[in-house]
Chain A
């Protein structure tokens, strides 16, 4: 724990912000997440400037202890006669001088509240004001929170550790009996969801009932339309959905096709680096940004099909049936307004199943024979399943795939049909997918405006010297561990556990196979933070 007190002088605009700056240095030293630092800075600067603007003098006291930052800003000033009024956005009593400098927007206190996890204010007229706020830190991640759509229902965990072993980027840990996802490693694929036998890992923030039909355009993916057994065609499901009274029902199928066509065009006409990699699956894009930054120039510069369709529906209320976490993340990150409603495939199944039940017993029959179907040729190599995607990306990175012009990698088996949130077997479902006939929608691929960017990974310490020391400790620790990668400790490999121990996420006794009295753990210098999952 560290504590510090900084003096703030009322009316001293020139040095206003000095306390916040000192606090920022502290936060950087402990390796706080930049998103957390940003929130802390907004709150601290607003509180500090309130003292400068309104009071004679004051103090900012900051206390850093395991997992949280507590700040108290106390002043000797006029006090606030009506705190409720002062909390209202836009209300300000700042002087003309302050306003000229850009202060006095009446957003100070609301800003502090908005950016902190706990907030309290006390004020006495003629005596002064005390503002306290707390911000929870997430020490290990330098990657913005909320970029994946996994949710952990910790009480369901039976510690099978399947998720730890299944994660292709080694982002999952199960310490202290609960799973934890390291944000900076998670690529938002479905591997852990698929592996978990107790549904501890689920998709975040989706609803399992359909919204009122009349108000919304419903968007469904091909994979969600083939979840009703052999006898129920996608066209049938679409017509049943149409009968429910949606303003419109759209599928992403045309948009998938438009994206594929655009990527193929791009690969033949425009691309400098080959093979071109399709950005169709957002989880694969995350994987490339994190683990294969050298392949970023090979990503075709387009938005995913679901983002393109969401952009097309801008201004309309839309409800998307999302098959996997990365579709959800893509929709929430998109610029479509209003934000679409996000619905679990199970909700669609529940709504449609009663209407098609009579048909589910029928075995169905293969489509009428109109000769052998034409294959699309070798224009684009489709790779599905995260293991194979990793293999192909590695081959591309090593220059072993020069014969391939364009690749379309999907994290789930059989593409989106393999999402564990769906019910039917991926391959049966894909076989049953037939694009419904009808007027072709004006689907198109959309060029990205933001370039793909390598993901900032873990920085061991913001101080380079300390980071190097930590790296050495991790090395030493790794050698001290058995090296069997049994994962019983809750970390996927011995090297991962070594890193966790040095960074304070786990304790050395986590390893159950370490020879007693054998290799001793290098100490981390301070007691490890008992960081709880998000």
Chain B
């Protein structure tokens, strides 16, 4: 499923559009520690996190991560948005907490198991 479609279905707001590619359901990772997220990275990955920082964007850039979902309604600052826009990372914000956001993402990706074609 493409990232913007996923955002729409889980009720997250897309703040910065990026490379709008398909997310691999096996590459969605949640965490608040840079080392974990770094290890989890992949080029079809979505990271779900509380870490609204430019470091996260640095990680996304280094690891070619296409999508980041911030939780708990956190609004990223201008520096973070700019970093996302520069590297083509899609940045979205979910009003829900980490657990609930992940629950919705899981449900959406796994219900939607049929490929579009």
Interface positions of A (Cβ within 8 A of B): 13-14, 16-17, 20-21, 24, 34, 38, 41-42, 45-46, 49, 101-103, 105-108, 111, 272-273, 296-297, 301, 335, 447-453
Q: Is the CB of A105 within 8 A of B36?
A: yes
Kindly state the separation between the CA atoms of A449 and B33 in the bound complex, as whole angstroms. 28
Q: Hey, which chain B residues are within 8 Å of A273, CB to CB?
A: 117
Q: Hey, which chain B residues are within 8 Å of A107, CB to CB?
A: 33, 35-36, 39
Q: Is the CB of B63 within 8 A of A41?
A: yes
Contacting residue for A38 out of B25, B41, B61, B113, CB 8 A: B41
Q: Known interface pairs A34-B64, A42-B39. Does A103 touch B117 (Cβ–Cβ under 8 Å)?
A: no
Kindly state the separation between the CA atoms of A447 and B115 in the bound complex, as whole angstroms. 9
**What residue of chain A has the Cβ atom nearest to residue B53's Cβ?**
A101
Q: Known interface pairs A46-B35, A111-B39. Does A16 touch B64 (Cβ–Cβ under 8 Å)?
A: no
Q: Hey, which chain B residues are within 8 Å of A297, CB to CB?
A: 117
Q: Hey, which chain B residues are within 8 Å of A102, CB to CB?
A: 32-34, 37, 49, 51, 53, 55-56
* 5 residue pairs from A and B, CB less than 8 Å apart: A14-B54, A17-B58, A101-B53, A111-B35, A335-B26
Q: How many residues of B contact A (CB 8 A)?
A: 34
Q: Is the CB of B55 within 8 A of A105?
A: no
Q: Hey, which chain B residues are within 8 Å of A296, CB to CB?
A: 117
**What residue of chain A has the Cβ atom nearest to residue B110's Cβ?**
A449
Q: Hey, which chain A residues are within 8 Å of B96, CB to CB?
A: none
Kindly state the separation between the CA atoms of A35 and B102 in the bound complex, as whole angstroms. 26
**What residue of chain A has the Cβ atom nearest to residue B115's Cβ?**
A451
**What residue of chain B has the Cβ atom nearest to residue A333's Cβ?**
B26
Q: Known interface pairs A34-B43, A297-B117, A451-B117. Does A108 touch B55 (Cβ–Cβ under 8 Å)?
A: no
Kindly state the separation between the CA atoms of A297 and B22 in the bound complex, as whole angstroms. 16
Binary interface encoding of chain B residues 14-55 relative to chain A, with 1 for a CB under 8 A from any of its CBs, else 0: 000000001011100000111111110111000001010111
Q: Is the CB of B63 within 8 A of A449?
A: no
Contacting residue for A21 out of B32, B55, B58, CB 8 A: B58
Interface positions of B (Cβ within 8 A of A): 22, 24-26, 32-39, 41-43, 49, 51, 53-56, 58-59, 61-64, 109-110, 113-117
Q: Is the CB of A301 within 8 A of B35?
A: no
Q: Hey, which chain B residues are within 8 Å of A448, CB to CB?
A: 113, 115
Q: Known interface pairs A14-B54, A101-B55, A111-B39. Does A447 touch B113 (Cβ–Cβ under 8 Å)?
A: yes
Of A17, A101, A102, the most chain B CB neighbours within 10 A belong to: A102
Of B22, B109, B113, B117, the most chain A CB neighbours within 10 A belong to: B117
Contacting residue for A451 out of B22, B41, B54, CB 8 A: B22
Q: Known interface pairs A34-B64, A301-B114. Does A449 touch B35 (Cβ–Cβ under 8 Å)?
A: no
Kindly state the separation between the CA atoms of A105 and B35 in the bound complex, as whole angstroms. 7
Kindly state the separation between the CA atoms of A74 and B7 in the bound complex, as whole angstroms. 42
Q: Is the CB of A17 within 8 A of B55?
A: yes
Q: Hey, which chain A residues are within 8 Å of B49, CB to CB?
A: 102
Kindly state the separation between the CA atoms of A452 and B22 in the bound complex, as whole angstroms. 11
Kindly state the separation between the CA atoms of A241 and B5 in the bound complex, as whole angstroms. 50
**What residue of chain A has the Cβ atom nearest to residue B41's Cβ?**
A38
Nearest Cβ distance between residue B111 and chain A, in whole angstroms? 10
Q: Is the CB of A108 within 8 A of B35?
A: yes
Q: Hey, which chain B residues are within 8 Å of A111, CB to CB?
A: 35, 38-39
Kindly state the separation between the CA atoms of A326 and B26 in the bound complex, as whole angstroms. 20
Kindly state the separation between the CA atoms of A296 and B117 in the bound complex, as whole angstroms. 9
**What residue of chain B has the Cβ atom nearest to residue A103's Cβ?**
B34
Q: Hey, which chain A residues are within 8 Å of B115, CB to CB?
A: 301, 448, 450-452
Q: Hey, which chain A residues are within 8 Å of B26, CB to CB?
A: 335, 449-450
Q: Hey, which chain B residues are within 8 Å of A16, CB to CB?
A: 55, 58
Of A101, A108, A447, the most chain B CB neighbours within 10 A belong to: A101
Q: Is the CB of B117 within 8 A of A105?
A: no
**What residue of chain A has the Cβ atom nearest to residue B31's Cβ?**
A102
Q: Hey, which chain A residues are within 8 Å of B55, CB to CB?
A: 13, 16-17, 101-103
A-B pairs with the 8 shortest C-beta distances? A107-B35, A451-B115, A17-B58, A105-B33, A297-B117, A105-B35, A102-B34, A41-B62
Q: Hey, which chain A residues are within 8 Å of B36, CB to CB?
A: 105, 107
Q: Hey, which chain A residues are within 8 Å of B56, CB to CB?
A: 102
Q: Hey, which chain A residues are within 8 Å of B33, CB to CB?
A: 102-103, 105, 107
Q: Hey, which chain B residues are within 8 Å of A108, CB to CB?
A: 35
**What residue of chain B has the Cβ atom nearest to residue A40's Cβ?**
B62
Nearest Cβ distance between residue B32 and chain A, in whole angstroms? 6
Q: Hey, which chain A residues are within 8 Å of B53, CB to CB?
A: 101-102
Nearest Cβ distance between residue A109 and chain B, in whole angstroms? 10
Q: Hey, which chain A residues are within 8 Å of B113, CB to CB?
A: 447-449
Nearest Cβ distance between residue A164 and chain B, in whole angstroms? 32
**What residue of chain B has the Cβ atom nearest to residue A45's Cβ?**
B62
Q: Hey, which chain B residues are within 8 Å of A46, CB to CB?
A: 35, 38
Nearest Cβ distance between residue A405 and chain B, in whole angstroms? 17
Nearest Cβ distance between residue A33 and chain B, in whole angstroms? 12
Q: Known interface pairs A107-B36, A273-B117. Does A21 touch B61 (Cβ–Cβ under 8 Å)?
A: yes
Nearest Cβ distance between residue B24 and chain A, in whole angstroms? 6
Q: Is the CB of B116 within 8 A of A451?
A: yes
Contacting residue for B59 out of A14, A34, A45, A450, CB 8 A: A45
Q: Hey, which chain B residues are within 8 Å of A101, CB to CB?
A: 34, 51, 53, 55
Contacting residue for B62 out of A24, A335, A449, CB 8 A: A24
Kindly state the separation between the CA atoms of A20 and B62 in the bound complex, as whole angstroms. 8
Kindly state the separation between the CA atoms of A447 and B117 in the bound complex, as whole angstroms. 13
**What residue of chain B has the Cβ atom nearest to residue A272's Cβ?**
B117
Contacting residue for A450 out of B24, B37, B42, CB 8 A: B24
